[in-house]
Amino acid sequence: MKMTNSRIAAVDVGNDAVKALFGKLDSDLYIPNVIAREVEDRPVIGIEDLDDKDPLDNIHIRVHSPALSENNAIYRVGNLATKSSNSTELDPGSSKAEEDQTLVMLFAALAMDAVNEKTPEKGFKTNNGVIDANYTLGTGLPLREVKEGKDVGYRSQLLGSVHQVEFLVTPKYQGRKVNIKFDEVKVYPEGFAAYINLVMDNHLNIINKDLIDKQILIQDIGGLSTDIAVIRNRNVDDDKAQGFNLGVSESLEQIREEIRSKHGVELDSRRDVVDIITRKNDRNHIMVKGSRTSVHDITDRILLELAKKEYRFLRNVWQKNSQSEICYFVGGGASVLKDYLKTLNNNLDGFNIEFFEDEKESIWMMSNAYYKLISDFIRKNDNRKVEDKKGEKQKASSSK
């Protein structure tokens, strides 16, 4: 298997957004995980200024892949989809490995990277306007799905075929097509990825020596699920790890609903709610008929409820793993609930818990980890080939 011109892609298809890193970290992408089905080409107002717009805000594609249950469908993706009346975000209880939406987001991110002229020479060939893009992919699934063995089917769907993305009414890329092929796909459990990030730098050197041999918990609060990984002897203890079908999405939806019924204000998506509760200035305020209005009562009540449930998960897992030394909270949900969880912990059990103060670090944690893991895989693979070649040469010269 030749890995020539295979570009590294580390993609975290999060419930809220896709975070992707490419190549020699020469490019990254952040796309909200929202899609909307389209029947035909969308009408564009002012088509002549289409090319002045940002492609990332106007991803409009047709996706052709045997891995999809709806083949050849047209989608608006990311920011463009949030403006549609029929946009879909992932639903609680859905399985990431089995949703078309996960694949559509993954393919869209790779296609956006493939057509981007700003990144260095990728070595992709173009035939009749179609880019042949080869990737070596590192990605992940929730612990629960890996425990159920869903990673196997997911991986083989990706590896087995060519996936085509055609850009329709997208600035700069209209009419371009990308054929995506995978040379290798590695699917990692998300909790383990968080651990890799805690203890290793980009070259997989150990940076956190004191953590390496401790028993630690990692509570990853996502949009739709919460995974608590138990790390012992540098591995995820599969039997002890637990996944719960609860994330922040439903609470965000509830906040959105209450703001609508109480203040008559329509927020486009859960993303807008996150913005209201996490932004630096004017946190927990919205504009109602042009005047600044607090929604603190609504957000506080609903988020505290959720934090209590999350805290209960922590308490239960810690009871079963009493020798744990620390729990790290990671994921987008953890940054939303941070203050509530800290307050509960101070008033209740006083566990040794730790948050990532840097929100950007917390959000990009999974894709960073996949990048480290897939790079390490390629490095080991290349070394093995060199060794094999040496062995063959020695054999040949000794048989002369």
The more confidently predicted of residues 123 and 357 is 123
Q: Which two tokens stand for residue 233?
A: 């002897």
pLDDT in tens, 36-77: 998 665 665 555 567 778 999 999 999 999 999 999 999 999
CATH fold, domain 7-188, is Nucleotidyltransferase; domain 5 (3.30.420)
Highest mean pLDDT among 80-89, 198-207, 295-304: 295-304
122: region left, alpha or beta (phi > 0 left; psi from -120 to 50 alpha):
alpha
pLDDT at 152 exceeding the cut of 50: yes
CA distance 246 to 253: 13
pLDDT at 385 exceeding the cut of 50: yes
Residue 292, burial from CB neighbour count under 10 angstroms (0-12, 13-18, 19+) = exposed
Cα Rg for the chain, rounded, in angstroms?
23
The more confidently predicted of residues 205 and 120 is 205
Tell me the domain boundaries of the chain. 7-188
Cβ contacts of 146 within 8 Å, gap of 6 or more: 187, 189
Question: Measured between alpha carbons, how far apart are the two ends of the chain, in Å?
Answer: 28
Residues in the chain: 400
pLDDT at 362 exceeding the cut of 80: no
Query: Regarding beta strands 59-64 and 163-167, do their DSSP bridges make them parallel or antiparallel, or are they unpaired?
Result: antiparallel
The more confidently predicted of residues 203 and 316 is 316
SS (H, E, C) 117-133: CCCCCCCCEEECCEEEE
Q: Where are the alpha helices (DSSP H) in 164-206?
A: 190-199
**Of the listed ranges 89-98, 165-174, 274-283, 363-372, the one predicted with least confidence:** 89-98
Q: In percent, how much of the chain has pLDDT > 90? A: 55
Q: What is the mean pLDDT of residues 366-374?
A: 92
pLDDT in tens, 156-205: 999 989 999 999 989 999 899 999 999 999 999 887 787 888 888 877 78
Q: pTM value?
A: 0.85
Q: Compute the CA torsion angle 334, 336, 340, 346 (nearest 10 deg).
A: 40
Mean pLDDT score of the chain? 88
Amino acid 234: pLDDT: 78
